[in-house]
Amino acid sequence: MKPILIHIHFHHRKTGVTRSIENVLPFFDKNFETYVYGKTIDGTKISTFQFLKLLFSDRKITVHCHRNNEILRMLFFRFLGAKFHLIASRHSATKPSKLTFWLLKKADKVVTLIKSMSDSLGIENTLIAHGVNVHNFSPKQIKHPQILQENIILNTGRIRKAKGQLTLLNAAKALKNHQNWCLVFVGKVDKPAFLVELKAIIKELNIEKQVYFFEETREIIPFYQAAKIFVAPSFSEGFSLVTAEAMACECTVIATKNVGVHDDLIKHQKNGYLFEAGNSEELSIILQKIILGENAHLGKEARIQIQKNWSAEKEATELMKIYQSN
**Four-residue CA torsion sign, 12, 14, 20, 24:** positive
pLDDT tens, position by position, 254-285:
999 999 999 999 999 999 999 999 999 999 99
At residue 174, the pLDDT reads 85
In this structure, the chain runs to a length of 326
The CATH architecture one would assign to domain 151-309 is 3-Layer(aba) Sandwich (3.40)
Q: How far apart are CA 285 and CA 108, in angstroms?
A: 48
Average pLDDT in the 55-82 region? 97
Task: Say how far apart CA 303 and CA 310 lie, in whole Å.
Answer: 10
**pLDDT mean over 144-166:** 95
Q: What is the pLDDT of residue 94?
A: 86
* Residue 244 banded pLDDT, cuts 50, 70, 90: very high
pTM for the predicted model, two decimal places: 0.91
Please, which pLDDT band fits residue 325 given cuts at 50, 70 and 90?
A: confident
What proportion of the chain, given as a percentage, has pLDDT over 70? 100
Domain boundaries, the chain: 4-131+312-323, 151-309
What distance in Å separates the CA atoms of residue 238 and residue 132, rounded to the nearest whole number? 16
pLDDT at residue 326 tops 80: no
Helix, coil or strand: residue 177: helix
Compute the average pLDDT of residues 74-85: 97
Phi and psi angles of residue 181, each rounded to the nearest 5 degrees, phi first: -115, 150
pLDDT tens figures, 166-206: 999 999 988 999 999 999 999 999 999 999 999 999 999 99
The whole-number pLDDT of residue 218 equals 87
Question: Which percentage of the chain shows pLDDT scores above 90?
Answer: 93
- Across the range 70-95, mean pLDDT stands at 95
pLDDT for the residue 15: 86
* Fold agreement (4-131+312-323, 151-309): yes
What does the pLDDT average to over 131-145? Answer: 94
- What was the pLDDT predicted at 121? 93
Spell out the residues 6+ positions from residue 63 whose beta carbon is closer than 8 angstroms to its own.
6, 8, 55, 74, 84, 85, 86, 87
Quick one: pLDDT at residue 308? 95
Look at the domain 4-131+312-323 and name its fold. Answer: Rossmann fold (3.40.50)
